[in-house]
A and B are shown apart, each in its own frame.
Chain A
Amino acid sequence: MNILQTIPLNHYIMLSALLFSIGAMGVLLRRNAIILLMCVELMLNAVNLLFAAFSVHHADGGGQVMVIFIMTVAAAEVAVGLAIIVMMFRKAGTTDINLFDTLKW
Chain B
Amino acid sequence: MILLLIPLFPLFGFLINGWLNKSMPKGLVGWVASLSVLASFGISVYLFIQLLSGANEFQFTVFDWMAAGSFQVDFGFMVDRLTAIMLLVVTGVGFLIHVYSIGYMNDDEDYPRFMAYMNLFVFFMLLLVLGDNFIMMFAGWEGVGLCSYLLIGFWFKNDNYNEAANKAFIMNRIGDLGFLLGLFLIYQTFGSFNFKEVMGMASTYPRYDSTITAITLLLFVGAMGKSAQIPLYTWLPDAMAGPTPVSALIHAATMVTAGVYMVVRSNVLYALAPFSSEFVAVIGLATALFAATIGLKQNDIKKVLAYSTVSQLGYMFVAAGVGAYSTAIFHLVTHAFFKALLFLCSGSVIHAMYGEQDIRNMGGLKKYLPITHLTFLIGTLAISGVPVFAGFFSKDEILAMTYSHSFLMFTLLAFGSVITAVYMFRLYWLTFYGEFRGTKHQLEHLHESPKVMTVPLMVLAVLSAVGGFIGLPEIFHAPHFLYNFLEPVAAGAGHHVSHTFEYVLIFTSIVVLAIIIYSTRNYYVVKGTLPESDAEEKGIARILSRKYFVDELYAMLFRKPLDVISGLGYRFVELGIITKTVDGIQEGINTAANGLRYLQTGRAGSYLFIMVIGFLALMIYAIIL
Contact = CB atoms under 8 A, between A and B. Distances in A.
The answer on direct contact between A and B (beta carbons under 8 Å) is yes
B523 to A, nearest CB: 86
Contacts of A98: 603-605
B408 interface: no
B602 A97 contact: no
A24 B597 CA distance: 26
Interface in B567-609: 597, 600-605, 608-609
B602 A101 contact: yes
A31 interface: yes
25 contacts: A27-B608, A27-B612, A28-B608, A28-B609, A28-B612, A31-B605, A97-B603, A97-B604, A97-B605, A98-B603, A98-B604, A98-B605, A100-B602, A100-B603, A100-B604, A101-B601, A101-B602, A101-B603, A102-B602, A103-B602, A104-B600, A104-B601, A104-B602, A105-B597, A105-B600
Nearest to B600: A104
A24 B603 CA distance: 17
Contacts of A102: 602
Contacts of A104: 600-602
A4 B406 CA distance: 125
Interface string A68-102: 00000000000000000000000000000110111
Interface string B189-214: 00000000000000000000000000
Contacts of A101: 601-603
A105 B599 CA distance: 11
Contacts, number: 27
Contacts of B600: 104-105
Contacts of B609: 28
Nearest to A97: B604
A104 B600 CA distance: 6
B619 to A, nearest CB: 12
Contacts of B602: 100-104
Closest 8 CB pairs of A and B: A104-B602, A101-B602, A97-B604, A101-B603, A103-B602, A104-B600, A98-B603, A98-B605
Interface in A1-58: 24, 27-28, 31
A45 B560 CA distance: 84
Given A97-B603, A97-B604, 7 more contacts: A28-B612, A31-B605, A97-B605, A98-B605, A100-B602, A104-B601, A105-B600
Contacts of B601: 101, 104
